A and B are shown apart, each in its own frame.
Chain A
Amino acid sequence: MIFQKNFGVLAAVALLTVVGCGGGPETAEPEAPVAGEEYFKVDPATAAGVSGKVNFEGKTPKPVRINMSAEPDCKKLHTATVHAEQVVVNENGTLQNVFVWVKSGLEGKKFEVTKNASLNQKGCIYRPHVIAMQAGGTISVSNGDPLTHNVHPLPKVNREWNKSQTPGASDIKRKFARQEIMLPVKCNIHPWMRAYISVVSHPFFAVTGEDGSFEIPGLPPGTYTVEAKHEKYGDQEMSVTLVDSESKEVDFTFSAG
């Protein structure tokens, strides 16, 4: 029995060595996995992908002004009016800050943690407004303002924390261990500040930017449910089946209703 166990460890070490050598110079040495736990490797030869854009239809809602007059220090940092980023419609009629992810179809597979996230506080606004990271990854929060903020995520399944960050303080680095979609982050000192972090148990997710598009590459072939989630307009799901090396386009449309 003990022999078998040792053999298993040996085999894992041997395998790692082979993988490590074959990875080429650009691959970073992966963290040694705990014996018995194997990461799922996507075969680059057959890897498929999903991409698309998130459209917006209907009347673009009037931007909501953020009133910083209670905080002159924040107000000073802006020359123009600041608007809340809850709904940002791009010029090409697409919707920004939509979180798109593979909601199901990857169960039972464990992926190496490669995607971390970072959040900056600049002008008393979180940038970006919506971010995403892998469970077990690290979020680093920086303070680009000449004043103190406190970073207070309000998770439901992860551990809550609330740390103040003075100007010039080093970045706050924390881990979120469990999957949790669109968990809010707030600053108690500046109540208008709001960001959303999605923590996902795999690396297949994206957030729409200024062109409203998203791309989730490197997926193993299979059938998946892809979900697009927006802070105000809720969520939409679509089912996609990907064969070897296939890349499919999936568009979502949110309407002002």
Chain B
Amino acid sequence: MPPNPPPDHDDPVVNKSLSVSLFSWTLILMLTLVWALYDEVVTLRPWKGYQARFAGLYAAHLKQLKPKKAMQEKEIKESDEYQRLQQQVEEASQAAATQTSAIRNRIANGINPRTNTVRPAFQALRGEIGALTYQLEISTSESTKESLAADIEGGKQRQQELDLALDDGSGDTETVSWTYPQLEAEMSRLRELRVKLQSELVALGGPAGEAQRQLDAYLQNLMYGLTETQIQGLINKMEQFEVSIKQIHLGDIDWVDRCESCHAGTREPVELTKASMGGEAVFTSHPSRDLLKIHDPEEFGCTPCHNGNGRATSSVTKGHGRYKHWLWPLFEKENIEAGCQQCHSQEIVTPQAEVLNKGRELFLNKGCWGCHRFEGFDKEADLLSDVRNEIKFRDKEKAANEKQVRRNNELADDPDTSDEQASYYNARSQALQLANSQLDARLTTLKAERKSLTQEVRKFGPSLKEVRVKLRKEWIPVWLKNPHEFRPGTKMPVFRLEEDEIQAIAAYVWQNGVEGSLQKHPPGDAARGRELFETRGCLGCHSIGEGEQKMGGSFAANLSRVGEKTNYDFLVRWIHDPAEVTPEAGATGDEVHLIPVMPNLRLTFADARDIASYLLAQKTDATYAAADYMDDPERAEEGLALARRYGCAGCHEISGLETEGRIGTELTLEGSKPIERLDFALFTHPAKVEGWYSHKGFFEQKLQDPAFFDQGKVREPGERLRMPNFNLTDDEITALTTFLLGAVDTALPANYRFEPEDERADIQRGWWMVRRYNCTGCHQIRPGDETSFMGMERYQDPDWVEQMPPQLYSEGARVRPDWLISFLSNPALSETDIHRNGIREYLHARMPTFQFTERQVRTLMRFFMARSSQPHPYIDDQLAPLSAAERTLARRLFTSRGAPCLKCHMTGDPGHDRNATAPNFLVAAERLKPDWTRRWMLEPAGIAPGTAMPSELFRHEQGRWIFDGPLPAIFEGYEGDHADLLVRYMFQFTPAELRRLRSSSVQ
């Protein structure tokens, strides 16, 4: 036997109790399990708590709402109209009741029992005959066939005795003895009878059904929001509310958003506010139902617009994506419209995104695109290069085709070629020639476009080629030093320039200006000039006065100190025709002179002199130091390098710098640039600590103070950050930040993006023009637009209200496209009589002549047409010609005491037209569309709120519109529509007719 090993006294397994440690570990394990379970069920699922609270709060809110709705509903139901409609329903159903019940009785007590008796007898016999027929078909012996045929015939002729209820529903019965064909005939007769009676029943229910529909519609019309029953439905839904993950899954891009697991009230049909949901903002409804209608969350989800981590459900921070590892944090409330930009990147105006729109407008009108390329903001230049490339390509294609034609012809004419081959070559040649003819058409279009685009390309700021003609020399360095001090709010930003840099740039600009002479003008009448300046329309874009005294628009310069910088003769020339240039400053070689944005107001020289005299007096007594250094060629040399460095040519046309590129970084996708590539410089760490290490933080800081990230750096002037300071307001910074945050390389596929190719694209393109030329400085295009005129004191006076430029809400529906094209090209509508408005001669404000190219005129025309849903191209409405009798009627009505049309509308008589406030009828036919004209006469305030044209001129009676006033006696017996009659009269108006009216109305 092997010796027993000595007992191991030190073995803890044997010698020590493990209970304590086992117990402790078990306890820890248990606690961990409990913790894990708790975490799993509660901590990681905060949405459960949200949903439970939501269901409670929502149900409570609904219960509060219900009695109010019940009251509202009750009030409506007690109204006379409702009672009347309800009675109608009852009467209609009663009227049908007797017949209905007779038919129902006939079906129940006649047709049903009769069918129930006939059907089994018929079916039994049909089965028997069917079985016999089958046996006959499969039988092979002729004799069996014969006997079976006899059996079948016997079955058909067998008489069956039946007790049948009569089909009139009286309950009486009859006894019949029928063969199979008789039974079959009866079955089909009964079927037809039933169908006939049932359709009679439906017809009888018609009037009652119609009355019921009217009743329901009446209630629905007057009720706001949901009815009591609907609210009860929601309460029931909340009672059965199931706590679960609520998610939207976008199948096509495999996108999951679980936002509604907490934001449970987003899409509820009742509007939920923070107050109505116990102060919990998380449960409020989406603030814009209209937006959700266009962007159904089932199709668009939540995070494609809002950003954030749609899948995360474990915490608010995770869900909102506000942690280090999520690249797309939820947009802050003030930047929420950034989400629109990624899909609406082609637009400058997106409805319902006013902050974003402002950001885009600032980017355009502060000239950001002068230094920073941003796709779409220098469209004309981009298009021009596309068009030039295509022209080159098409030219080559054409030449290649010509070459091939020559070759084919040679081959065809070659004696060695067979006839068959020759005709093949000839056919090829012909096809190529036809293709070239198409190419010619395309080239003509492209060249016209190139011509337009060449004129449309622009720089943001004014040309500096004419500084010597235009500016006071000593003013230039003062301006360069701090433009905002001279002219607060100007678009020229403040550069970080040292004194010697200012001198050098001033010298360069001055010495590169062309020499030229100006026509000398005698002084004008400044007082008259002031009146003209304030009423002709200058203030649509320009402003004058500072602080409280400021009036006018912010699109163009504030002219409060313009007298300090320029000279009289230049000002007269500029006001008279902004496109006129000193010949030396015009086009040189390939370059074209860029046309200024300022339009031509078609002023006489006398007017221009008066306005210039007034403007020249706008100055302070500031003194200007002599600037002889500006003539030093060496300084100019230094200045050239500096002008390049600071990108002056990004915004200005400067001799010698015509081909300079942009100096800033491209911003088209700046919002999705990796954050590491945004240079926080020495502020990387502080930004992380302070919580602004984000795109938003960077953009805001940079816009607030473009030199900010240079702080703490040791840099020579030539190495410093170059971006100048625009002195933006906080609102402007928010708007621009929103725009930049939305400027991303979107992950969404093309079908999510708004890139229409139909008339909506016309609207998109038009808005760019509207913004570029500041149409909204004078005109309202969308409801809520504020023009510069609306803010001016003069136009608050009741006498001046009608002097505001016309509203253009429905311009596309109002005017004919061909007329609009000619008007936009020449608003005087005349080649000779140009110092006036073509249509509204009575307006002091004048529609200026813009130097629009054909392409631009077309773009604007299509913009207005598309906004008013007009078909393109427009086809004339054919109006029925007026009979002689109708003409007399219309003429009488037109000049009657009751309808003094010619009191306000122009007639061509200068004495009368001085006080006119509406256009001449003579131009109606060539300018207006008949359907719009009719709508205008019936409800002008619905088309142009505040118009001088009175409303309710007509009343609707028995399906036609009748003039609501004393009618001339000859209208007795006239059955036509009066509005219609007047439209037809107006569209067939002639100068002779007007003369006739004028003489008769004076009497």
Contact = CB atoms under 8 A, between A and B. Distances in A.
A148 interface: yes
A189 B904 contact: yes
Given A161-B941, A162-B941, A163-B951, A148 B898 contact: yes
Nearest to A146: B897
Contacts of A169: 964-965
B945 interface: yes
Given A70-B915, A162-B951, A189-B903, A167 B897 contact: yes
Contacts of A241: none
Contacts of B911: 70
A148 B964 CA distance: 12
A167 B966 contact: yes
A194 interface: yes
B782 interface: no
Nearest to A69: B911
B181 interface: no
B900 interface: yes
Contacts of B912: 70
B770 to A, nearest CB: 26
Contacts of B904: 188-189
Interface in B600-653: none
Interface stretch (B133-141, B318-326, B798-806, B926-934): B798-806
B947 A191 contact: no
Given A2-B67, A70-B915, A189 B900 contact: yes
A202 to B, nearest CB: 26
A162 B900 contact: no
Interface residues of A, number: 26
Contacts of B900: 147-148, 189
Contacts of A189: 900, 903-904
B899 interface: yes
B269 interface: no
A166 interface: yes
Contact of B899 (A5, A148, A160): A148
Interface in B931-964: 940-941, 945-953, 964
A231 to B, nearest CB: 11
A70 B907 CA distance: 13
Contacts of B948: 152, 162, 188
Contacts of A184: 798
Given A167-B966, A186-B798, A148 B897 contact: yes
Contacts of A164: 950, 952-953, 965
A152 B897 contact: no
Query: Which of A71, A72, A189 is most buried by chain B, counting CB atoms within 10 A of its CB?
Result: A189
A191 B915 contact: yes
Interface in A176-203: 184, 186, 188-189, 191, 194
Contacts of B802: 188
Query: Which of B798, B951, B1002 is most buried by chain A, counting CB atoms within 10 A of its CB?
Result: B798
A33 interface: no
Interface string A29-72: 00000000000000000000000000000000000000000111
A169 B951 CA distance: 15
B951 A148 contact: no
A84 interface: no
A161 B950 CA distance: 8
A158 interface: no
Nearest to B953: A164
B503 interface: no
A117 interface: no
A242 to B, nearest CB: 36
Contacts of B436: none
Given A2-B67, A148-B897, A188-B904, A163 B952 contact: yes
A111 to B, nearest CB: 25
Interface in A94-151: 146-148, 150
Interface in B784-814: 798-799, 801-802
B947 to A, nearest CB: 7
16 contacts: A70-B911, A70-B912, A147-B900, A160-B945, A160-B946, A161-B951, A162-B947, A163-B951, A163-B952, A166-B966, A167-B898, A167-B966, A184-B798, A188-B802, A188-B904, A188-B949
In order of increasing CB-CB distance, the 9 nearest A-B pairs are A166-B965, A164-B950, A188-B948, A150-B950, A166-B898, A184-B798, A189-B903, A186-B798, A162-B950
